[in-house]
Amino acid sequence: MNNKVLLINPPFNIAKENYDSSVSVGLLSIASYLDDKGVKVKILDGAREENFSALLKKEILDSAYAGLSVMTTQVPGALKISEVIKKINPNCKIIWGGTHPTFFPEQTIKNNLVDIISYGEGEETFYEIASGKNLSEISGLLYKDSGKIIINQPRNLCQPAEMPLFNWDLLPREIL
């Protein structure tokens, strides 16, 4: 079973010369958790990587899941990325998490480019999705089933002592 997860920090909808981004700690935490559990995972940072579009088109080919961490200022870029993903790999499930889908979950899930919303902490949620667990059994999700929006119960907070240390090797050296 292919369970490769591509985690994406979309570009910001502002001029790069006016913005100095930092590494997405949320994505690094999720990636580190997945890697620790044996899931193949890759991080792409649209706010920091020069050749982001080419990397996206290459990495999405064999990805089963694409997870986008989306703040409201990133929605336009995240929608464009989701559209590219659907064109290149229509079987890839697109999962949005982050502040925008957490605050506007039903509005976000209505978009046909978004398959699943992860709200709350995403480490265990992404692992359960990548492991093939039935969506109805995964806490912290919104998804569509035959056009109906399903809202699962919230997920309990992760226990810090049970979380792996960040695996900085999952980030390209040029963006550190």
Higher-pLDDT residue of 140, 160: 140
Closest to 30 in 3D by CA, of 52, 49, 55, 5:
5
> Which H or E run contains 148?
strand 148-151
Which of 105, 106, 86 has the alpha carbon at shortest distance from 97? Answer: 105
Tell me what pLDDT residue 18 has: 47
pLDDT digits (tens, 9 = 90+) for 103-143: 999 999 999 999 999 999 999 999 999 999 999 999 999 99
Q: Cα separation of 63 and 25, whole Å?
A: 22
In sequence order, the β-bridge partners of residue 142 are 117, 151
Average pLDDT, the chain: 91
Give the pLDDT band of residue 46 (cuts 50, 70, 90): confident
What class, spelled out in words, does domain 5-14+22-167 have in CATH? alpha beta
Average pLDDT over residues 10-24: 63
% of the chain residues with pLDDT over 70: 92
Segment 61-97, tens digit of pLDDT: 999 999 999 999 999 999 999 999 999 999 999 999 9
Could you give the 3-state DSSP secondary structure of residue 91?
coil
**Three-state secondary structure call for residue 59:** helix
